[in-house]
Every structure is written in structure tokens, then in C-alpha cells.
């Protein structure tokens, strides 16, 4: 059976050339992947939701066939958020629902806080609100230990050398090794993820997300960071695979005061961090229910 998506390339207002997987028609849903992934992370959702929505899953800046500009500060939050705003514009829309996981969700949180006019709804998968993560890194030794890789990624050269080693053996280990559902990733799936790093700079680009985040945090005050990730008005759904080895479930507690709009958490007990791939049918059902008001409004 043929897949529903096709690949298209857009040159954004910034000049960045971005590849997207695009499927379906209807209200726009933009799907943002995490690390170390690519558009392919949303294969199950593209298949399930494109009969009702126009689903667009880009390779984010630095990944796959999207441009990978050189330099740490080309991967700051404002540039990553700007890419999404520019993509929505390039698609001929003024706003979209955002579905996002991991680093893509970090982008989505900032976008919903700073550019609320472009975000109709936001569904986040296994990524806490940045203010909760910052609090935990300051106060929880357990979460600090879980987040060791964020600090390791601040080193020059070594992190990307390890990522590339053994035909990206660490990528395979990160995906399969930390998943609860071990059949979530086939050998063919791993080939797709390796392809996302075929650009010689892509490994560095992906790690630069973490480097830019730390550098931005060091240069900004707590008041500035609070403003950057202010309260969110868009209806929000947080889907959380409970067996996340990097992000503790406790990061989801006490988030209600960060929202002025409707907010709901749905926990999935038999999934790890890669929840949309480990439990695709359940995630698709939750997303379909959450996004359904957009389809009704468009009818």
C-alpha cells in the first residue's frame, strides 16, 4: 500500500531550505520531531490523521534534507521557533495545531508562549514545560543525573564523534535501548534515522540545539526566561509515556498554573520516551480526540 505522504521543499523567509513530509487536507497540523530523529518519527500519525487533517512533518533545522547552517547560535530557540512560523506562512496558512515530541516540543512550548496567534492547539509528547525542567535541574539530584547527556553535549567534538561511531550505533541504542516496547523500531526504521544524519554537519547541528540552549540560559536572567516561556492560552494536551528514562514523571506535576487555557495530561503506563512510536494506536486516538474541534469548525 502506498504511503499517504509526499515530500516537498520550502525556502523559508530566513532563506533556510526545509524538507517536509506532507499528507492529507483540512485543518493544518504541524508535527515537530525530537532528538535524534526526523520527520519519520510521525509515520504512524501521518497515516492515521491525514484523512481528516493536512499533516506536515518537517525535518527540523539541521536534520535530514533540511539545511544545516554552521554555528551553535544558529540553533537558538528564536531561530527554531521562527522556522515553524515561516513554514506555516509558506504553507499559505496563518495558524496551525502543533503536535510535538522531545526537542520539537521544546520549540512548541516557546512558540505557544511567544507567538500565540499562530498556535490553535498544542499537543506535547514527553517534554515538560521548560520552566518545570529548569526548576527540577536546580532542585532535584535525580533529574540532574537523568539529564547528564545535556551537560555532556556541551563538550566540543566528542559528543558528535560518539554519535557517528560504529555507523551511528549510539542512535540505535538510544531508540531501542530506552524504549519500553522493544518492537517499536525495526531495522528498516533505524535505517531511516541514520539517513537523517547523512549531512556531515547534521550530528553537530543536532547537538548544537543543546549547546545553544545552555548558552542562551547563561546569558539571560531568570525574569527573561520566565517571559520567554510564559503562560499558555492555547488548549494543551500533554501525553506522557511513564517509563521515560531521561525525564521523570514528576516533571509533569504542578504544571496547571502555567496555563490560562484548557490543559490535560494523559499518562501511558506501558511506554517509554518514544511514545508516539511505542503506542501509536493509543496516541493517534488521543490526538484525534484532541484535534477534533478543529475539524468540526472547518466542516
- The catalytic residue positions are 102, 210, 273
Pairing of strands 17-23, 54-58: antiparallel
Task: Say if strands 119-125 and 263-268 run parallel, antiparallel, or are unpaired.
Answer: unpaired
Length of the chain: 299
- Give the integer Cα–Cα distance in Å for 8 and 198: 19
CA triple 288-278-68, angle to 5 deg: 85
The three-state secondary structure class of 181 is: coil
**What is the Cα–Cα distance from 236 to 239, expressed in whole angstroms?**
10
Contacts for 296 with CB less than 8 Å, ≥ 6 apart: none
Cβ atoms within 10 Å of 218's Cβ, excluding its own: 7
Q: Which residues contact 104 (CB under 8 A, 6 or more apart)?
A: 31, 32, 33, 34, 60, 127
Q: How many CA atoms lie within 13 A of 73 on its CB side?
A: 4
Amino acid at each position: 500500500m502506498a504511503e499517504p505522504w509526499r515530500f516537498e521543499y520550502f525556502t523559508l523567509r530566513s532563506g533556510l531550505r526545509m524538507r517536509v513530509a506532507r499528507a492529507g487536507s483540512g485543518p493544518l497540523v504541524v508535527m515537530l520531531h525530537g532528538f535524534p530523529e526526523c520527520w519519520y518519527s510521525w509515520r504512524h500519525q501521518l497515516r492515521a490523521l491525514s484523512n481528516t487533517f493536512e499533516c506536515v512533518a518537517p525535518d527540523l533545522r539541521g536534520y535530514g534534507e533540511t539545511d544545516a547552517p554552521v554555528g551553535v547560535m544558529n540553533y537558538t530557540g528564536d531561530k527554531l521557533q521562527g522556522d515553524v512560523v515561516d513554514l506555516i506562512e509558506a504553507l499559505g496558512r496563518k495558524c496551525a495545531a502543533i503536535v510535538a515530541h522531545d526537542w520539537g516540543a521544546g520549540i512548541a512550548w516557546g512558540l505557544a508562549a511567544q507567538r500565540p496567534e499562530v498556535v490553535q492547539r498544542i499537543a506535547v509528547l514527553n517534554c515538560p514545560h521548560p520552566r518545570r525542567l529548569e526548576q527540577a535541574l536546580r532542585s532535584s539530584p535525580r533529574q540532574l543525573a537523568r539529564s547528564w547527556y545535556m551537560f555532556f553535549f556541551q563538550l566540543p567534538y566528542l559528543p558528535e564523534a560518539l554519535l557517528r561511531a560504529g555507523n551511528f550505533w549510539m542512535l540505535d541504542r538510544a531508540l531501542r535501548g530506552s524504549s519500553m516496547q522493544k518492537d517499536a523500531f525495526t531495522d528498516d526504521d533505524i535505517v531511516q534515522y541514520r539517513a537523517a544524519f547523512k549531512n556531515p554537519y547534521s550530528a553537530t547541528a543536532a547537538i548544537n540545539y543543546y549547546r545553544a540552549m545552555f548558552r542562551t540560559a547563561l546569558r539571560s536572567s531568570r525574569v527573561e526566561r520566565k517571559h520567554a516561556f510564559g503562560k499558555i492560552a492555547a488548549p494543551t494536551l500533554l501525553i506522557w509515556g511513564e517509563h521515560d528514562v531521561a525525564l521523570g514523571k514528576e516533571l509533569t506535576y504542578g504544571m496547571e498554573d502555567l496555563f490560562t487555557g484548557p490543559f490535560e495530561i494523559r499518562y501511558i503506563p506501558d511506554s517509554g520516551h518514544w511514545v508516539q512510536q511505542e503506542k501509536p494506536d493509543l496516541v493517534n486516538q488521543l490526538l484525534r480526540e484532541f484535534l477534533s474541534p478543529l475539524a468540526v469548525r472547518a466542516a
